[in-house]
Structure 1
Amino acid sequence: MDGTRRNSQWWLIFILQIITYNVYAQSAEQLYFRAAYRDVHTLEIDSTKHFFTLPMAYGQSEILELPEANDISRLQIDSVLLVYTDHPKNFDFSLLNTNRIHAFSKWFDGAIDDPVIRWRIIKQVGGENKQDFTQKFHGIVVYYDKHKRQDLSPEEEVKRRKHIDNKFHHLVKKKLGEDQQLTETTSKVFEKNRDVWNKAVVVSDWTGSMYPYTLDLLSWLIKERAQDQVIGFVFFNDGDTKMSHQKKIGETEGIYSIRSSKVMPVMNLMSMVKRKGDGGDLPENDIEAILKAEKEYTDANTFILVGDNQSTVRDIELLPQVKNPIHIILNYAPINHLGLPKVIKDYKRIALATNGSIYVNDQEFTTAEEIEQLEELVLDDQ
């Protein structure tokens, strides 16, 4: 047994926690000391069972990749392995590994206290130097039963969604430094079209005021266990930090894509694109981003553009190159005296030319006649 893992300092913490924690609630620290413990040369995953992994970097406790929502939704977890390596030798890994349990519990609520779930702490001891150990798996392995959990009651479902909202809000603040209230603009449109839109690619304006609209969609995909509905995201910021005179039509760049709808990889890309810049001026390279999406996702069935109705489309002249219907979700539009939204003419042109649609202000315009009746919004200085 790892002697340093159970040193006197941690035994004191353990005893204090027994006294101070609710008798019915187990902490990550308590679980760590109570779980079964085993040394192995190198972890061998039992591939005859249903499992998924939550990899973490050597010496780190952040989950690098979450499985697809439909792989984990309401599945009965049978056992959990917390896997680490014995390097440096004789090091106290207690804090690192309890942090890893905390990271797991943030996404798998109740797993620490569930009496059905068996926990094991696996220490890999095979290796001569740091390189040997860093190449081994670190993180969590989850074995689960193929039978799904029973549907939640309405009260339990409300609690589950609220819990996800809280975790998602915390993640957005941590990863993006954003504390904006999410709108339900994008998610409402997806909810209406969830039986029609599949293998979708979301092309999103990722500048300033547009953050809440795609984050809203990502949160909805988790809550609805619908991450398999979207196969990828393309974010564009109109050239990173390029000056206006440096932006050539079709070569403006500042476009980044990811073939995933898993929250952690997508959030990591969002953070990176945000750091790259916001293009400086107001017009955006929407069409260049759409063309990149069409080129990279030839297997997609649906293309959605999340656009800013306060910015014109810089490269609208590239529109004839677009091959697929583009369904446009706009952030907001002022209304005219008839109660119809005013939309920048570029978005009307995109929807009409591609046989697409426009969604804005909780209204949908899906036919050419409906789109043509929209009044054009004229912006100053663009």
Structure 2
Amino acid sequence: MSKYLRFSVLFLLVISVLSCSEIKKPPSSYQWPIIEGFPKPQVPANNPMSLAKVTLGKQLFYDVNLSANQTQACASCHIQEHAFAEPLPTSIGSTGHKHRRNSPALVNIAYNKTLTWAHDGLTSIEQQLLLPMFSENPVELGITNHEATVLARFNTAQYKALFQQAFPEHNGQHITYDLITKALASFVRSLISLQSPFDQYAYYNKDEAISASALRGMTLFFSEKLECHHCHGGFNFTQSTSHEKQLIDRRPFHNTGLYQTLDKVTGHLGYPSDDIGLAEISTITADNGRFRAPTLRNIAVSAPYMHDGSIATLAQVLDFYAAGGRHITSGEHQGDGRLNSLKSPFIKGFSMSEQDKIDLISFLHTLTDEAFLTNPEHAKP
């Protein structure tokens, strides 16, 4: 593999790191498991990272006592072997409430600029965690109206000791939801994946780490012909990235032409009325169908794909983008998404041979970090 190609790829991946001057941060005792020279994630000043918080957060993440009916934990919908996603099109809450969206993978969430599929105002993990905990539509953990009952379950000797270690400044005061969300956020921030074969190739100069097919796929991925890197760029393979050296909001929400459905009530064409994406939050018509471009790290193990889990395989995803959108010929969502007037200009369609497809999938598999998927530090206690 030529040194020029490696340099070109690295330039595209880390240019955002160099786009802003370094922000001075107070030193932290927490050791981030990141590649030497990589920027550290941003962390709220009122919730600095510590190993004790991560340990407590992991215990809470896997504990079904955090759901009102004690049937689900955070880990029920965020499974380690699936990159902390789940192999269902859309999630099902603790009360059996079917959700409208696919459970997103929790990979390098510490670097995310925005959180959830379509909300440009959610930029804090602590804030986002309140949704699965207290939301009533859809119900996830279902804590609302059961706050005292759920909180009392953590009034045990084991948890008291863990909370004391994680938050010594509270001097053993009552356990609160504020402390629970801070601990959970710390654990989620610790889920760093930067040891894939691609990383070995790109950052450790190990040419043998990826195959010739994957190298061809990488060339296609970063080409202007396919334009994948425009929405899935940077070292985290997503525009939704923020860290200590890059604070620019790249507005990483895109309409990919997944739908062009006729709304029987309004008579308008667009995404299904039960989930119109960012427009639901912004109330801006142009945001209809815009969803956040997720990271592609560990993408091979986090199927199904898209915000609603409506595409089952990576091969089908590539076919979808090659077609420039999706044409649904029958059923509830019948319509030609390729003709969606709000579709991103990057979704133009492209020609792709069978070998190109094999090579692209091979490249995407190099983003699978087996160490991350099996790391005992992330596993159930």
Which TM-score band (shorter chain)? under 0.3
Structure with greater contact order relative to length (CA < 8 Å, sep ≥ 6)? 2
**Given the two structures, how large is their TM-score scaled by the length of structure 1?**
0.26
Name the structure with the higher strand share. 1
Looking at CA atoms only, which structure, 1 or 2, has the larger radius of gyration?
1
**Given the two structures, how large is their TM-score scaled by the length of structure 2?**
0.26
